[in-house]
Amino acid sequence: MKSLLPFALILPIFLTACGADSTISNGTSQLEQALAAEQEAGKNLRMNLNLSGLQSAGVTADHIVVTITKGEFTRTIEVAHTDYSAMAEFSNLVLGEYQINVQIFDGETLVAEGVGAGTVSANQLATVDLG
């Protein structure tokens, strides 16, 4: 089994949350606050995974498992790559910080993994490096 790459190969992940800014002032009504809270839910988190470092190292990979966690909330998806590039997308999320775990497999063998954190914010793009 190939040793796990310590992910010195930085795996760039781009996080986006689409939606309006949900700033609430102290003088807003309950209806306005409820509408603003609704805007804070339903955001998407999109990750572009560049695995070219694995290809350069001669590591074969056929599927990727991405897990996000926030408090008690956990969601996992499996994605495939094309030419060592992949996209993972999670939808219907609330704003806040998420722990991200990426595992890369060749068949059933785990060949690399990385962890990181990212914040889903309204109308903002962030970059997260997994270490």
3-state secondary structure of 105: strand
What number does CATH give the domain 11-130? 2.60.40.10
CB atoms < 10 A from the CB of 75, how many?
A: 15
Contact 13, 130 (CB under 8 A): yes
Q: Which residues of the chain have pLDDT under 50?
A: 1-10, 14-26, 34-36, 38
Domain locations in the chain as residue ranges: 11-130
pLDDT value, residue 22 = 40
| Dist. CA 130–CA 66, nearest whole Å | 12
Q: Is the pTM of this model over 0.95?
A: no
Chain segment 3-37, per-residue pLDDT in tens: 444 443 445 554 444 443 444 444 555 555 544 45
The rounded distance, in Å, linking the Cα atoms of 75 and 83 is: 25
